[in-house]
Structure 1
Amino acid sequence: MAGRAGRPKYDVEGEAIIVARSGGERDTLMERYVLGEPEVIESKLASESFLRTQILATVASDYAHEREGIMDFLGRTFYAYQFGSDFLGGFLEDILRFLVSEGMVEDRGGLLFATPFGRRISELYIDPMSAVIIRDGLRSKVERVTDVGYLHLVSSTPDMPRLYLGKRDYREVGIFADEHRFEFRRSPPDEWEDPDGYEWFLSELKMAYLLERWISEASEDEIISQFGVGSGDILRFIEAADWLLYATYKIAELLGIRGELPNIWRLRMRINYGIREELLDLVRLVGVGRVRARRLYDAGFKTVQDLASARVEDLVRIPAIGRELAEKILVQARG
């Protein structure tokens, strides 16, 4: 609740203030946060995803180039303190085999070095498994290159949160899957031969569907109602998709797949703002977000150049645009 109070190495103590609205709430807060037992915490290295990321980072940062050095590092972590280091050796070998086989690490007679691909993935700070999924998806052949194909690709990575599938989702997301079946950069499992895999695919696709609704300018309330999520969840999904699309752009750039770079970058900007493609020019203006950009566009101001010849009186007639903002918009458009 208070976070970390005081600066390590600089302060011997820190202060945090809890404001209670009543005497009863004061007693409850005191009992829970001041006198209560500390919560149990576990090391994130217990997650294989996080362990993959850290082992690659250890090699890519030149901290260690031998298995013994990596084991020494892992042996001094909170995970080793909690669970012992006995299991780490097996995990280390499995993960190193994966990193070598996927071209992120080279094993030169027992010395381990990150490849350019591995170094880039470590810099992007995504799960190496996510990087493999994105790389293979970029190299795949699809009948139609679309935004939905890319949204499903990033939604199928371990770095993207998962959405729960409700009863109505099977039909709704299934229809969405059928409509876009020629666009996926990862082949969906067969519904009858691999029902569990297909259900997982639908869960991934539900996230892609949510993101597609966001860039189609559905309101937050509409998304909350349709997908059963909270407004904070939407922000979390957008941030994850934004970063994964940035990673996709950088991986495509590294692989020399330059023809897709403009498409990926435009999609990332649309995710950022929650807009259709025609609004990309307008949202460059400070003070203009998805709602104001749509209202400007619908009023006939489809580009920044259109706004350059507008008058303040023209803009203040548009809902959500006052005189001060109208003047700022015109200064930017004419600059």
Structure 2
Amino acid sequence: MIQGLFDTDGCVSRFRDLSFSNISILLIKDLQRLLLIFGIVARIRKRKGRPIQMDSKSYETKDHYELIIAQKESILAFRQHIGFRIQRKQAALEEVATAIQRNIRHIFCPVCGYLLFKDLFCGRTKSHETWGAKKLAIIQCLGKEGCLSSKVLEKKLGFPPYKKMRRLNHHFELLKRTRVGNEKFWELNPIGHYIYELTKNNFTNFNSVFSLNNCPLCNETFEKKIKGNWRAGDFEGDIFWDILRKATKESGEKYPFVYDVVLPSDGSNDHFFAAEGFLIHNSAGVNLPAFRVIIQSPYRYTDFGMDRIPISEFRQMSGRAGRPKYDSEGQAVLIAKTEFEKDDYISYYVNGETEPCRSRLSSESALRFHLLATIASGFIFDLESAEKFFSATLYAKQEGDLSALFSKINTLTSQLRDMGFVELSEKRIDATLLGRRVAQLYLDPVSAFAIVNSLRKEKYNDAAYLYTIANTNEFFPYLSVPRQKEGELWEAIQGQKGLLAVNVELEMFTDNSMLPKFWTSLMLKDWIGEVKEQEIVETYKVQPGILRAKLQNADWLAYSSFELAKILLLEGHFGPLAKMRKRLQGGIREELIPLCELRGIGRVRARRMYNAGIKGIAEVKKTDVQDLGKLLGEKVAASVKRQLAATK
């Protein structure tokens, strides 16, 4: 059946991926799930209808959905398990599959245990090429000289034979390193000798290893890894990303164990996944008891590439193993792929010393936040008490010389005065009523000042409130703006400059984050406009967990804006901000607010009732429970009626 669908409406595109098109989203999603049976992961996108030419005639196509198989392992699985019956399509698939299989990333011998990367002696950048040449020099030096100590090897080479970052030391797979006392000795291992003999006259012979199907040492079949492409890491380990439809609490007798798995962190994995008896989450985000903690990798992506997590973070994760009152011990597992990796992890994470704790008061934003909080709480009331207070902090113990800190405190105190959060006299520093409320709300004073300035502009529309919420440090990081959308968004900002509570002409040239802030505010606008969550996820390229975190932040900032408006006596904002908070909480338009006050009624049920003519609580009371049950289900309808009866 799947083959027949792809024979008719499927193709191999010029971008070397497979696709299937149809106007039925239900068929597309069913096919997506059927493909998972074969280990084939596909993504869905919506395509606008457009005119096409066939046999000199023009036809107008409808809007449709496209199922795309772009991940390389999935394309190979499609060829193996499904394929095409139409010869020209199958030939195109074979061509794509052959190109994929030639593009090898590394080979692995499961018996000998070595892992050889194809770019071991080369690289994409000039620095990588330079280090590749140096790695070849290391192998050639040890091949000629035999076993050498670290000091002697470095002296002969003229450079250290390793890099601090593990991912740059793939040549260790060819080496045997032995520690004798305080000295480490280096020599080639068996596969290292083979590679040396192969490359000593011409290093390009190294590539011939990757055309072999079997290990030249033990004749075991190689495991070959092709180079990844679009979100390749998402599909390793048979993980499929989907919306969590239902969560239930089960008895401990039926499920006595909880497995706690940490996925690689890229800033987006702050929500839970449930699959095959595993509860998967970023362990820094929750506090759940677990007998066993499994850490897939101690590396994560940073601004500087893949880097190790700190020892303190590893121990924080591992420390979650062992359930109080249930276990006498806990198990923490860190997965290593090779013997060298295992030794490295034990040396660094198990036997290494935890990094020292550093004070964050060196950050101006953190210092400003804590300075206002201590003034508002009465711990600081003049410059002398400020010096006394901060002299007792961890920062003071670590830095010693506090002259720069006290100078910064003087500057920040003046800034807080200019913002209207503190009052200064010759003898005292006191928080204003506004400043105390900012501290109680745990707002960054800079964010609070931006909110206050926006509220004073007296703009009472959705666009103004949503941009005010996004225009805060608390909402960072902002959503990434697609490059093709930038021109369109700048035009939209110009079109709405009369609505926004900022000086658009000035902000365009002084705030480099204005476009991402505006894009983020549009995401919030779609949410309160009742756009489906899945559509928001796809449009703004935001994962469900991050979307939920952003909405929680928006709720807090809407509440904070309302509280600041009360302090400023800006009564015109009271009603709109109260409604905005309700809408952010429920993801609803204004007319659904009364219906969503009922327990068990969310935006879907409320919209269903509203469209049926039940537009308020009075209409709900008048509607017969059986008629209500047709819209909401019998149990929910009965619950709603009980709620209304209890309020009489």
TM-score by structure 1 length?
Answer: 0.84
Higher helix share: 1
SS of the equivalent of 1:106 reads strand
Which structure carries more relative contact order (alpha carbon 8 Å, separation 6+)?
Answer: 1
Percent identical among aligned pairs is 31
Distance 1:53 1:21, change over 3 A: closer
SS of the equivalent of 2:465 reads helix
C-alpha contact (below 8 Å) 1:176/1:209 kept by paired residues: no
SS of the equivalent of 1:46 reads coil
SS of the equivalent of 2:392 reads coil
Distance 1:21 1:106 in 2: 55
1:214 maps to which of 511, 527, 550: 527
Deviation of residue 187 (structure 1)?
0.9
1:257: which partner in 2? 570
1:315: which partner in 2? 628
1:85-164 equivalence runs, <5 A: 85-140=402-457, 142=459, 145-161=460-476, 162-164=478-480
Distance 1:317 1:175, change over 3 A: farther
Moved more, 76-85 or 133-142: 76-85
Distance 1:39 1:304 in 2: 59
SS of the equivalent of 2:530 reads coil
Which one-letter code corresponds to 1:331 in the other structure? Answer: R
C-alpha contact (below 8 Å) 2:596/2:606 kept by paired residues: yes
2:637: which partner in 1? 326
Distance 1:22 1:188, change over 3 A: closer
SS of the equivalent of 1:239 reads helix
Which one-letter code corresponds to 1:133 in the other structure? Answer: A
Deviation of residue 204 (structure 1)?
1.4
2:496: which partner in 1? 180
Distance 1:24 1:296 in 2: 55
Distance 1:312 1:24 in 2: 60
Please give the per-residue CA displacement for 1:269-313, whole angstroms capped at 9, x wherever unaligned: 111111100110011011111222122222222112111122232
Which one-letter code corresponds to 2:503 in the other structure? Answer: S
Distance 1:22 1:126, change over 3 A: closer
Where do 5+ consecutive residues of structure 2 fail to align? 1-282, 289-318, 323-329
Distance 1:240 1:19 in 2: 35
2:60: which partner in 1? none
Distance 1:33 1:101, change over 3 A: same
Distance 1:15 1:117, change over 3 A: closer
1:11: which partner in 2? none
SS of the equivalent of 1:281 reads helix
1:167 maps to which of 472, 477, 483: 483
1:1-335 equivalence runs, <5 A: 1=283, 16-17=321-322, 38=354, 42-84=358-400, 85-140=402-457, 142=459, 145-161=460-476, 162-189=478-505, 195=509, 197=510, 199-318=512-631, 321-335=632-646
Distance 1:149 1:15, change over 3 A: closer
Deviation of residue 148 (structure 1)?
0.7
C-alpha contact (below 8 Å) 2:559/2:581 kept by paired residues: yes
C-alpha contact (below 8 Å) 1:151/1:211 kept by paired residues: yes
SS of the equivalent of 1:44 reads coil
Which one-letter code corresponds to 1:79 in the other structure? Answer: Y
2:303: which partner in 1? none
Deviation of residue 208 (structure 1)?
1.0
Distance 1:310 1:74, change over 3 A: same
Please give the per-residue CA displacement for 1:165-201, whole angstroms capped at 9, x wherever unaligned: 330331342243133221111112458xx65x35421
Deviation of residue 55 (structure 1)?
0.3
SS of the equivalent of 1:113 reads strand
Which one-letter code corresponds to 1:239 in the other structure? Answer: Q
Please give the per-residue CA displacement for 1:152-174, whole angstroms capped at 9, x wherever unaligned: 11211222222223303313422
Which one-letter code corresponds to 1:324 in the other structure? Answer: K
Which one-letter code corresponds to 2:514 in the other structure? Answer: F
C-alpha contact (below 8 Å) 2:321/2:332 kept by paired residues: no
2:41: which partner in 1? none
Deviation of residue 46 (structure 1)?
3.5
Which one-letter code corresponds to 1:328 in the other structure? Answer: S
Distance 1:236 1:15, change over 3 A: closer
TM-score by structure 2 length?
Answer: 0.45
Distance 1:65 1:201, change over 3 A: same
Distance 1:83 1:229 in 2: 40
Distance 1:309 1:34, change over 3 A: farther
Please give the per-residue CA displacement for 1:112-150, whole angstroms capped at 9, x wherever unaligned: 1111111111111111112211111111255xx311111
Distance 1:39 1:265, change over 3 A: farther
Distance 2:356 2:492 in 1: 42
Aligned residues: 319
Distance 1:333 1:204 in 2: 41
Deviation of residue 36 (structure 1)?
6.7
Distance 2:320 2:511 in 1: 51
C-alpha contact (below 8 Å) 1:189/1:201 kept by paired residues: no
Distance 1:23 1:200, change over 3 A: closer
C-alpha contact (below 8 Å) 2:566/2:574 kept by paired residues: yes
Which one-letter code corresponds to 1:268 in the other structure? Answer: R
Deviation of residue 75 (structure 1)?
2.9
Distance 1:105 1:55 in 2: 11
Distance 2:553 2:543 in 1: 16
Moved more, 43-52 or 262-271: 43-52
C-alpha contact (below 8 Å) 1:188/1:201 kept by paired residues: no
Please give the per-residue CA displacement for 1:50-75, whole angstroms capped at 9, x wherever unaligned: 22111011111011212232233223
C-alpha contact (below 8 Å) 2:321/2:331 kept by paired residues: no
Higher strand share: 2
